[in-house]
Structure formats: structure tokens, C-alpha cells
């Protein structure tokens, strides 16, 4: 997994085994000094299969060097030759028997073992012609002046695959090329003045194969060539030349051929630049001319032919620099279509670049692309054009006026490639366009060719590389020269797809071929390394290395706040297209995507703790989301440290703390004194009120009860009704007396504790159940309850709730035992009254609190109990036991009270 790097000054190793963080540590491995290797300029590094210990190093000397990676020693393998010229080593191989084979550039093949190499005198065979300029599925065929079997010229103008699978490539300066795919070599057919049967001109403009298998090659100035070939071998047997001869009316009308087309009937049509249209007569080997005649309205619109197209009815459409012409082969008549600025239903521009028939229109619609007038849709039934042009106030108009290519995919969608406006898709329903430009991911806005693969993907040749476009998602995947293309710039019209799926695109530096299915994304997640760190532009490798090795933060002073990082994604498939994103946690809010840039700098970093994170993606956008990270700490100056702040604060606060403390103490003493006075006054008022109520109201109620009893005895013979009223008066007075005693008890400040409530309930129960045959007991009273203060409302409501509960048990429970249980947990109070009687009626046997407001409780007593419990913000539950008996349970949180609380 180590990466060995050869340089002009020696050898270095990126050693993966020394990783202590996500970053790789670079160190000098074996500098190729004179005492180690003879030459330090590294020209090749080889690791032979099966030999993990040794590394073979090619330098500029007469020896091949073998490095022992374990011991660090180097052994030279010298070439036994008397020639003084240094042997230039090409490639190194090792066979199954361990023999070393060395292919040289100037001394043949060498082999050997141990420490001696010998020249191989056996038979050799060379091959060439195919240059793969990238690691991937793209094959770039280009011109190599040292290789006679390479492409003859880099500028490709035309591509044609014949019926036998041979690819013919026309070039701008090198004539015609034939590629034999089995042997991966080109054969050239160029113009040779001394050879009469050679190609007539080296600028090839068009290629076409006829029914007899002959190849027609149009040139720019050399006329038309017909190549007769052997049907078995494909070898060119002879060439026949057709040129313009002013003395021969049946000759080619012009030597500059711009277009070749074979119609459904097998007729060959030749378009020229200045000579109009030609039809070849195979019987007489002559040409019929169709020219532009200004005085004849049904002649050709112009003599400069750009393109020829045949529709499904067999009619020819000829695009010229002067308009569009339709030729009816059956009536031998022309129909002209030209631009009329006063008629919006005419052609938008006379310079026609592209003609296409909509396959889904049943022959009714043709699309015409022009050089500067945009796009035209021709309605054959109305003989009218509908123009689509670039309108800057309409976002869904055509993006550009120059149409280079028209293409219809398998789904029937129409696509238009423009000269500088990107790719356009036409929507039939709305007659609007969606266009895709560089802002949407296209590498360049010039579209020269469009082809569709077997998966519905569109492949676009542009002025900035090749692009694969997914019409369903609108996503582009771009490829450039680093992926193996011939160049980033392609040529208009130079594209072709073979029946078996292979695609060809021609450009300024040759031809690119590939099978779309073999173009797959690089799946490898690249390791990411922080490779350099600098402070004020000065590299600081020691700081970075120590931080990475020891896993500790990188320590910086407050003066070292101008820093920079360099980083790398260690994927070498196409490193120029690796992309990065970084974030300095504590400073950057989000990730910053910086494209292919591999460095970042930060200025005026405030003191603090930061973590620098970087993540990277390979050439196909596969991200290492974990990436690499480095923590750094910028220490503040001493006047911004915590201890300085603490000391300063202590000094500032210390001066005033004594005065403030004495002031607070004075205020506290006054507040405590005021609270004590209020509490004493409160207790005095409550005590006086209790005594007054007892003396005044108690005395009067006692007299009422006494007078009522005397009256009852004296009126023994009175009617029963009067006796009943007297009894009610007595009972009411007795009840008022009991209620008054409860009120006076609640008012008494000496009874403010939970303990007093428990004792009062105990005394009431003892008195109530005395001589009734019901055993009454109280559980849970503790001395701790004396410290729990209760307000008057709390004491009054609690006593009244459980007095009512005891009365109910006496009157209705038919029980033999009653138990009052008081439990206190922190400030949580729970009081329950349990009997062993007959239990509650079904409508009252509930575990949840009952709703007194909605009238679900029968009787005023139970409703009053529930209302009192809710007043105390407590819960009151009634439930019966399975074996009989009833429990009334109250639970609530006791509020904390202050001495001056008004509820006291």
C-alpha cells in the first residue's frame, strides 16, 4: 500500500504503515546519492509480480537498480555492451522462471538473472497505433510522428464504419485513415503527387460507402475519390478520381465537396461549395448538375451546400448558405424556401446547418437549424415555418440562435445542440424549451454532436470535453483529456455510433472511441491527507508532523494567527479532477467546497480551539466524508487568559465587596427584624381573634343550646312538630359550636403544625367512635410533623375532610374497625381513612379523582370533601377493597410558608 515516487533528485515514499491520523506522513525514503545509486534521476519504478521485497529502479545510466526494501541496499544490473552510448531502458518484465526481461529504446531486448544482462537476438514483433491517454475506457487515437501506424493527423473531420467493421477516419491535413481494430494500427491513404492513384487531396470532408462496397471520399479542393476494395480483405485495389473539368459538362461541378448522401434508391448525391448539387450516374460515370439560377424560381436556392437530408417520402432537402431547397426526385423539380423579413412564417435565416425529420410526426414536421436565425419547425400541410428564437425576456425560449445538431432520442424527445447556448430540449405540449448550460453542469456551451446509448443516456461532444447527460435526472457527468480523450475540443459533425454500440467522436487532436457500458465511475473512496502547514507563508513541517504523530493539538501563539493548510485526496486515477471541501470548526459555519483547489489560508484567527477538517472526492465524485482532521489551539495573550480575567475581576470586586457586604448585612438585619415584628403582630392578632370568638360567639351558642333544652323540657306536651323544630335548633347550635371550635382552633397560631392537625383528628376520632363498638386507631404520627407548618386554610380543610369521612364511616360503613394513617415523605403528604365495612356503591368505587363540579358525587358531604381537596391542589380517592371495606385517601404537596405569609 505504499506509494513510491520518482523525482529528478531521488526516490521518496508515501508510507501508509506510518499513519497515526487520517493524514499520510511523507518522508525521504532512499535519496539516490552517488554512494547508493549511480544516477539520481528516476525514470521508472517497477514492482514485479510475486516479488514484494524488491523494487526495480530505472535511471539514465547503463545499469538497472534493484532496491531491497527491507535492508535499504541497492544492487546494479549492468548491460554487457561495448557501445559508449547509454542504453535507454523502456519497460521491465519478469517471466515465470525469474528471468528479467528489459525492453530498451536503442539496443533491443535484454534478459538475464543474478547480476548480468544479455542482449536477446531472437525474433521480435512490433505493434503500435493505439494510444490510450488516460486510465479508463476512453481510447484516444492521435498522431505520433515517430509511429508510422498512428493516425495521420490529429484534426478529425469525418468518421465512417463500413459493412465489414473497418473504421475510416478523415482528417484535415493527413488524408484518409483505415483502422484495423484487430491489429490496432492505421493505414494511411494520402495525396502523393508522384502517384497518380493516390488520394486526390489531404483535406477530407466526407466519407460514404455505396451498395457495391466502394468507398467515396470527398475532399476540400481535390474533388471526389472512389476507392474500390477487395471484398474479402478490405484492401484498397484502385482509386478513381472525379474532378471538375470545365470542358466536360458531365464532370463534377466543383472540386470542394461538402456533403455526400445516398438516397433510398441508391443514388449518390454530392454537395459542393460553389458548384451546387450533383447526382452520380453509375452507368455513364458522370454527374447531373443542379445549380442555382437567379432567373429560374424552381432552381436550387444556392450553390454552397451545407447538408443533404432525405425524408420518409423520398424527397431531398438541401440546406445551403442561401436558403432551403426541397427536391422532388420524381418530378425533378425544386421548391425554394428563403427568409423574408416581412413574413414571420418563412425561414428565419438563409444559412441552413441542420435538417431533421420528426419521427413522431408521421412525416408532417421537419426541423431546420440555422446559423444565426435559431430553429424552424416546418409544417408540410401548411407549407409554413414556425420560428423558435432566443428571446431574453422569455426564460423558456431557445437558448441560442446557432443550431449545430438536432437529435431525437428513443423516447421521441427532441434535443438541439447550439453553438454557444448549450443543450435544448423541446416540450411539445407547451412548445417551450428547457436548456442546460455550464451553470447546470455542462462542461462547455458549444455542442458539436449528440448520441444516445442503450440506456437512454445522451453523450455530447463539446468544446470542453465529452459529457454524459441523464435526461431523467438532468445530471451531467463530464470527461476531459485527463480521462483519456483526444482533446477537450471536438469537431462539429464528427461523431458516429456503430451498430454494436461503440461511439466515435472526432476532435482537433484525433479520434476518441469507447463503449458507453464500459465507462463506469471510479468506486474507490480516496484517502485524504493534510500534506502541509504554514505560518505567515513559512512551512512548518515539524509542527504538523509532531501533531499528526502524537495526536495532540497543534499549539500556536496569538501572534501566529495567519496560517495555511495544504491537502490531497490520494486517488491517482485522475488527480486533476479530485475535489475538496474544508471547514475550520469554531470559525466556519458550514463546509466550503473549493473544487480542485488543494489549499486554504486563514488570517487573524482569534484565540480559541479549532478543528480543521477536510474531505475529498475522486475524479468521479465519490467522497471520503470522514476525511482528515487536525486540532489546533491559538493561545490568547496573557491579558486575555482566564487567570488574568479572574485576577482582574477579583481586584475589581475585592475593593467593593467589604462595603457591599456590610450594606447587605445591615439590610438583612433590618429585614429579619421586620419579619420578626410582622410574625409577632400576626400571632398577636390571631390569638386575640381566637379569644374574642371563643368568648363572644361561644358564650352565645352555649346559651342558645341551654335555652333550647330548657324549652323542650317545659313543652313536653307540645305538638310533635314543635318538638322536632326544637330538636333541629339544638342540633344546629351544637353544630355551630363544633364548627366554631374548629375555626378558633385553625385561627390559633399555636396550632400551625401538621402535628396539631394529626392530634386534632385523633381526638375527634376517639370522641366520635367512643362507645360505638368501632375500634379507632391512628398510625404515622411523628415528632417530625411539628416542624411542618400549615396555613389556616390547609388545617381547616384537612380536618373538615376527614371529619366528614369519619362521620360517613360511622353512619354508613357498618364497620368494626377504622384506621387513620398519616404518611409524610419530604413535603409530600398522604392521609387515608380505612374501614372494614361493606364498601362503597359501584358508582363511587373509583381509583381516579371524582368530578364534583359536574355533579357525579351524590350528597353534599362528599362533594364538599372533593371541593376542599381541590382547593388544596390535592387528590381525593375513594375505593373499596376486594374483601370489603373502604379507603378515603388524600394526597398533596405541602407548600412552603414564610413567617409573613398572609395565609397564616
What does the pLDDT read at residue 190? 93
Pair 570, 666 in one domain: no
Domain end (from 726, 749, 772): 749
Q: Which helix (H) or strand (E) holds 886?
A: strand 886-893
Residue 646 falls within a domain, yes or no? Answer: no
Pair 245, 161 in one domain: yes
Please give the average pLDDT of every successive group of 10 residues along the chain, which has 904 residues: 74 56 37 48 73 76 73 71 60 62 64 53 33 55 87 88 86 90 85 89 94 93 92 80 95 96 94 96 94 90 95 94 93 92 95 93 91 95 94 93 95 95 96 96 96 96 96 94 89 89 91 91 90 89 80 87 91 88 95 94 92 94 93 87 83 85 84 72 63 61 72 72 74 66 66 86 91 92 88 87 91 91 91 90 57 52 90 91 85 76 54
* 817-825 vs 775-779, strand pairing mode: parallel
Strands (E), 440-525: 447-452, 458-462, 465-470, 475-479, 490-497, 503-507, 510-514
Burial of 60 (0-12, 13-18, 19+ CB in 10 A): middle
* Short-list 376, 374, 352, 353, CA closest to 365: 376
The order of strands in the sheet holding 167-171 is: 156-161, 167-171, 176-180, 185-189
Pair 370, 482 in one domain: yes
Torsion sign, CA atoms 135, 140, 145, 147: positive
Q: Which helix (H) or strand (E) holds 864?
A: helix 860-871
Pair 707, 769 in one domain: no
Residue 799 falls within a domain, yes or no? Answer: yes
- Tell me, rounded to whole angstroms, the distance of Cα 202 from its chain centroid: 51
Please state, in angstroms and rounded to a whole number, the distance separating the CA atoms of residues 237 and 72: 62
Pair 743, 759 in one domain: no
- Whose cell is 483526444? That residue is 486
Q: Following CA atoms 532, 538, 544, 547 in sequence, which dihedral angle do they give, to the nearest 10 degrees? A: -150
Which residues contact residue 410 at a Cβ distance below 8 angstroms, ignoring those fewer than 6 apart?
452, 456
- Whose cell is 536477446? That residue is 120
Pair 600, 715 in one domain: no
Distances from the Cα of 448 to the Cαs of 131, 419, 493, 637, 755, in angstroms?
Answer: 23, 8, 6, 62, 100
Question: Which backbone phi and psi does 728 adopt, to 5 degrees?
Answer: -65, -40
Residue 65 falls within a domain, yes or no? Answer: yes
Pair 312, 457 in one domain: yes
What does the pLDDT read at residue 60? 63
Domain end (from 518, 542, 566): 518
Torsion sign, CA atoms 119, 125, 131, 133: negative
Which residues contact residue 573 at a Cβ distance below 8 angstroms, ignoring those fewer than 6 apart?
135, 136, 522, 524, 618, 619
Pair 611, 505 in one domain: no
Residue 129 falls within a domain, yes or no? Answer: no
Contact 549, 25 (CB under 8 A): yes
Question: Which backbone phi and psi does 461 adopt, to 5 degrees?
Answer: -95, 135
Number of structural domains found in the chain = 5
- Annotate 649-684 with DSSP letters as a single string: HHHHHHHHHHHHHHHHHHHHHHHHHHHHHHHHHHHH
Residue 786 falls within a domain, yes or no? Answer: yes
Residue 376 falls within a domain, yes or no? Answer: yes
Residue 777 falls within a domain, yes or no? Answer: yes
CATH code of the domain covering residue 437: 2.130.10.10
What does the pLDDT read at residue 113? 56
- Whose cell is 450516374? That residue is 281
Contact 334, 290 (CB under 8 A): yes
Distances from the Cα of 634 to the Cαs of 437, 604, 647, 848, in angstroms?
Answer: 45, 11, 22, 62
Which residues contact residue 280 at a Cβ distance below 8 angstroms, ignoring those fewer than 6 apart?
267, 268, 269, 270, 286, 287
Pair 689, 837 in one domain: no
Pair 187, 61 in one domain: no
What does the pLDDT read at residue 18? 43
What number of other Cβ atoms are within 10 A of residue 430's Cβ? 8
Q: What's the chain's length in residues? A: 904
Please state, in angstroms and rounded to a whole number, the distance separating the CA atoms of residues 648 and 396: 67
Pair 678, 589 in one domain: no
CATH code of the domain covering residue 797: 3.30.565.10
Pair 144, 43 in one domain: no
Which residues form the domain of 738? 652-749
Domain end (from 518, 546, 561): 518
Residue 212 falls within a domain, yes or no? Answer: yes
CATH code of the domain covering residue 559: 2.60.40.10
Q: Which helix (H) or strand (E) holds 240?
A: strand 236-242
Amino acid at each position: 500500500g505504499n506509494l513510491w515516487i520518482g523525482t529528478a533528485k531521488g526516490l521518496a515514499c508515501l508510507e501508509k504503515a506510518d499513519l497515526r491520523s487520517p493524514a499520510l506522513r511523507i518522508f525521504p525514503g532512499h535519496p539516490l546519492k552517488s554512494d547508493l545509486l549511480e544516477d539520481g534521476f528516476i525514470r521508472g519504478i517497477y514492482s514485479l509480480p510475486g516479488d514484494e521485497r524488491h523494487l526495480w529502479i530505472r535511471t539514465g545510466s547503463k545499469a538497472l537498480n534493484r532496491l531491497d526494501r527491507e535492508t535499504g541496499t541497492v544492487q546494479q544490473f549492468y548491460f554487457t555492451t561495448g557501445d559508449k552510448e547509454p542504453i535507454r531502458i523502456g519497460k521491465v518484465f519478469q517471466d515465470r522462471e525469474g528471468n528479467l526481461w528489459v525492453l530498451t529504446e536503442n539496443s533491443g531486448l535484454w534478459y538475464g538473472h543474478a547480476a548480468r544482462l544479455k542482449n536477446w537476438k531472437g525474433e521480435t514483433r512490433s505493434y503500435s497505433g493505439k494510444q490510450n491517454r488516460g486510465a479508463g475506457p476512453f481510447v484516444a487515437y492521435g498522431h505520433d510522428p515517430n509511429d508510422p501506424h498512428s493516425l495521420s493527423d490529429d484534426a478529425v473531420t469525418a468518421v465512417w464504419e463500413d459493412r465489414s467493421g473497418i473504421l475510416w477516419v478523415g482528417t484535415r491535413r493527413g488524408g484518409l485513415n483505415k483502422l484495423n481494430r484487430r491489429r490496432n494500427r492505421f493505414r494511411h491513404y494520402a495525396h502523393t503527387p508522384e502517384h497518380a492513384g493516390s488520394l486526390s487531396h489531404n483535406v477530407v470532408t466526407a466519407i460514404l460507402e455505396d451498395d457495391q462496397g466502394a468507398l467515396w471520399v470527398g475532399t476540400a479542393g481535390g474533388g471526389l475519390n472512389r476507392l474500390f476494395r477487395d471484398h474479402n480483405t478490405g484492401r484498397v485495389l484502385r482509386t478513381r478520381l472525379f474532378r471538375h473539368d470545365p470542358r466536360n459538362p458531365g464532370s463534377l461541378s466543383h472540386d470542394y465537396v461538402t456533403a455526400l448522401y445516398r438516397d433510398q434508391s441508391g443514388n449518390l448525391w454530392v454537395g459542393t461549395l460553389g458548384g451546387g448539387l450533383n447526382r452520380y450516374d453509375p452507368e455513364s460515370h458522370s454527374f447531373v448538375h443542379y445549380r442555382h439560377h437567379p432567373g429560374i424560381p424552381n432552381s436550387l436556392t444556392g450553390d454552397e451546400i451545407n447538408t443533404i437530408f432525405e425524408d420518409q417520402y423520398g424527397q431531398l432537402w438541401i440546406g445551403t448558405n442561401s436558403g432551403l431547397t426541397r427536391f422532388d426526385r420524381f418530378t425533378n423539380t425544386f421548391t425554394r424556401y428563403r427568409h423574408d423579413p416581412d413574413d414571420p412564417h418563412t425561414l428565419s435565416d438563409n444559412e441552413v446547418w441542420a435538417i431533421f425529420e420528426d419521427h413522431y410526426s408521421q412525416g408532417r414536421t421537419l426541423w431546420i437549424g440555422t446559423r444565426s436565425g435559431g430553429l424552424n419547425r416546418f409544417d408540410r400541410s401548411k407549407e409554413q415555418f414556425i420560428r423558435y428564437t432566443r428571446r431574453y425576456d422569455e426564460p423558456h425560449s431557445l437558448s441560442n440562435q446557432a443550431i449545430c445538431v438536432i437529435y431525437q432520442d428513443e423516447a421521441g424527445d427532441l434535443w438541439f445542440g447550439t453553438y454557444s447556448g448549450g443543450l435544448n430540449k423541446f416540450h411539445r405540449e407547451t412548445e417551450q424549451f428547457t436548456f442546460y448550460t455550464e451553470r447546470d453542469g455542462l462542461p462547455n456551451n458549444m455542442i458539436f454532436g449528440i448520441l444516445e446509448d442503450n440506456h437512454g443516456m445522451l453523450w455530447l461532444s463539446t468544446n470542453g470535453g465529452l459529457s454524459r447527460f441523464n435526461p431523467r435526472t438532468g445530471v451531467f457527468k463530464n470527461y476531459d483529456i485527463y480521462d483519456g480523450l483526444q482533446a477537450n475540443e471536438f469537431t462539429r459533425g464528427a461523431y458516429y455510433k456503430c451498430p454494436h454500440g461503440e461511439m466515435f467522436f472526432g476532435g482537433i487532436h484525433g479520434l476518441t472511441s469507447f463503449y458507453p457500458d464500459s465507462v463506469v465511475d471510479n468506486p474507490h473512496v480516496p484517502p485524504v491527507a493534510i500534506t502541509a502547514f504554514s505560518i505567515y507563508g513559512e512551512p512548518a513541517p515539524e509542527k504538523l508532523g509532531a501533531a499528526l504523530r502524537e495526536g495532540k493539538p497543534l499549539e500556536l501563539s496569538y501572534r501566529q494567527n495567519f496560517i495555511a493548510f495544504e491537502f490531497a485526496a490520494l486517488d491517482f486515477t485522475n488527480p486533476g479532477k479530485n475535489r475538496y471541501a474544508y471547514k475550520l470548526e469554531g470559525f466556519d459555519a458550514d463546509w466550503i467546497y473549493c473544487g480542485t483547489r488543494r489549499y486554504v489560508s486563514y488570517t487573524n484567527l482569534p484565540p480559541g480551539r479549532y478543528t480543521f477538517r477536510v474531505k475529498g472526492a475522486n475524479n468521479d465524485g465519490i467522497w471520503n466524508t470522514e476525511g482528515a482532521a487536525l486540532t489546533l489551539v491559538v493561545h490568547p495573550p496573557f491579558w486575555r487568559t482566564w487567570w488574568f480575567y479572574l485576577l482582574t475581576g477579583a481586584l475589581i470586586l475585592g475593593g467593593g465587596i467589604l462595603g457591599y457586604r456590610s450594606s447587605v448585612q445591615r439590610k438583612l438585619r433590618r429585614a429579619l427584624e421586620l419579619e420578626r415584628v410582622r410574625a409577632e403582630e400576626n400571632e398577636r392578632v390571631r390569638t386575640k381573634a381566637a379569644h374574642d370568638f371563643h368568648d363572644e360567639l361561644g358564650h352565645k351558642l352555649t346559651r342558645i343550646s341551654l335555652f333550647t333544652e330548657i324549652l323542650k323540657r317545659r313543652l313536653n306536651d307540645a305538638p310533635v312538630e314543635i318538638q322536632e323544630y326544637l330538636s333541629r335548633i339544638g342540633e344546629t347550635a351544637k353544630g355551630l359550636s363544633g364548627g366554631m371550635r374548629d375555626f378558633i382552633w385553625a385561627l390559633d397560631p399555636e396550632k400551625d403544625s401538621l402535628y396539631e392537625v394529626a392530634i386534632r383528628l385523633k381526638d375527634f376520632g376517639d370522641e366520635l367512635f367512643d362507645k360505638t363498638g368501632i375500634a379507632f386507631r391512628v398510625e404515622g404520627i411523628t415528632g417530625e410533623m411539628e416542624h411542618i407548618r400549615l396555613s389556616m386554610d390547609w388545617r381547616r380543610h384537612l380536618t373538615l375532610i376527614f371529619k366528614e369521612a369519619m362521620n360517613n364511616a360511622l353512619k354508613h360503613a357498618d364497620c368494626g374497625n377504622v384506621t387513620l394513617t398519616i404518611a409524610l415523605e419530604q413535603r409530600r403528604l398522604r392521609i387515608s381513612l380505612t374501614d372494614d365495612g361493606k364498601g362503597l356503591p359501584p358508582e363511587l368505587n373509583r381509583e381516579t379523582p371524582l368530578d364534583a363540579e359536574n355533579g357525579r358525587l351524590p350528597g353534599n358531604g362528599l362533594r364538599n370533601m372533593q371541593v376542599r381537596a381541590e382547593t388544596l391542589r390535592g387528590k381525593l380517592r375513594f375505593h373499596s377493597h376486594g374483601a370489603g371495606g373502604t379507603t378515603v385517601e388524600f394526597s398533596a404537596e405541602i407548600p412552603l410558608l414564610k413567617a409573613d405569609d398572609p395565609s397564616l
